[in-house]
Chain A
Amino acid sequence: MEQKTKVFAEDGKQEIQITRHFDLPVESLYNAFVDKDLFAQWMGSDLIEFEFKQYGKYHFEKRNPKGDVIFNGKGTFHGFIPNTSIVRTFEMDVFSLPAQLEFLDFKSLTDETSKLTMHVIFKSVEIRNELLKKPFAQGLNMAHNKLEEIIKKV
């Protein structure tokens, strides 16, 4: 079966491309990225700031039950065209990696389906590879739900 989400990371390039087909109208897909509550829901994080406007900032994080930040993301929205594109910066200070630039393109395929292309540009090839090597740590916000369940039982 063809994978819905694809990641392209060419050797020696300081960028990656993530594509995904959605069974959603493009308006719905775009809305999930610009609506504060919806964004927090699907990212599974708490939002500290989310100002969707040009040069508006966003900041989300995930804490463990002890209150330590285990995953976070911060950045600025640089530009957007409704249902078409978003340009934003992103950095996770828990990993101390430089900011990355993200171009999100939304495309309507049919009335009920759409496609997202995320083109992410890193400071260097090494930084890109380092980020890709942290898939587990990157998945903290997902693993965290499990962790929370486990810790609550203690």
Chain B
Amino acid sequence: MKLRRDVFQAISDPTRRAIITLVAMQAMTPTAIAENFDSSRQTISKHIQILAECQILEQEQTGREIYYRLNPNGMKDIADFIEPFRQLWDKRFDNLESIMKSKIISSVRLKGSGHEHKK
């Protein structure tokens, strides 16, 4: 249970989500990750540490460098990872709903009769 809460906490932060985005495509060193951000190296290191503790990122030693990459097996069973997946769709659908609501309002205003058609 602790793991799940930690994972949600980990992905709730925009900087951490941005870090996940970066390493999702390729393993990166902490220095390379930090170069993408405004924040101090220490702040970024802290974020990386939290992600590693939650097993979202895993370390990979290549020569003298440590690389971080996304750990797809970080969460053990479906119940643990389905919630972020659900939230992803929930946000997309919230977006859909608000965009379509605004279209309905503007089309009602334009036509004045509530007779709505797509443009």
Contacts and interface: CB of A to CB of B under 8 A. Distances in A.
Contacts of B21: 64, 70, 136-137, 140, 143-144, 147
A146 B81 contact: no
Q: How large is the interface on A (under 10, 10 to 19, 20 to 34, 35 or more residues)?
A: 35 or more
Contacts of B116: 27
A14 interface: no
B24 interface: yes
Interface stretch (A53-61, A101-109, A127-135): A127-135
A68 B22 CA distance: 11
Interface of B: 11, 14-15, 17-18, 20-22, 24-25, 36-38, 56, 70, 72-75, 78, 81-82, 84-93, 95-97, 99-101, 103-104, 116, 118
B70 A136 contact: yes
15 contacts: A9-B78, A11-B78, A22-B96, A23-B97, A24-B104, A136-B20, A136-B70, A137-B24, A139-B17, A146-B17, A146-B18, A150-B14, A150-B15, A150-B18, A150-B37
Given A129-B78, A133-B75, A20 B20 contact: no
B93 A5 contact: yes
A100 interface: no
B72 A70 contact: no
B44 to A, nearest CB: 11
A150 B103 CA distance: 30
Given A22-B96, A116-B93, A129-B78, 15 more contacts: A5-B86, A5-B90, A7-B86, A23-B101, A35-B118, A41-B99, A42-B99, A44-B92, A68-B25, A70-B21, A132-B82, A139-B88, A144-B21, A147-B22, A154-B36
Interface in A18-33: 18, 20, 22-25, 27-29, 31-32
B82 A24 contact: no
Contact of B17 (A4, A44, A134, A143): A143
Contacts, number: 131
Interface of A: 3-7, 9, 11, 18, 20, 22-25, 27-29, 31-32, 35, 38, 41-44, 64, 68, 70, 94, 116, 129-130, 132-140, 142-144, 146-147, 150-151, 153-154
Nearest to A43: B92
A107 B116 CA distance: 19
A22 B99 CA distance: 12
A136 B17 contact: yes
A131 to B, nearest CB: 8
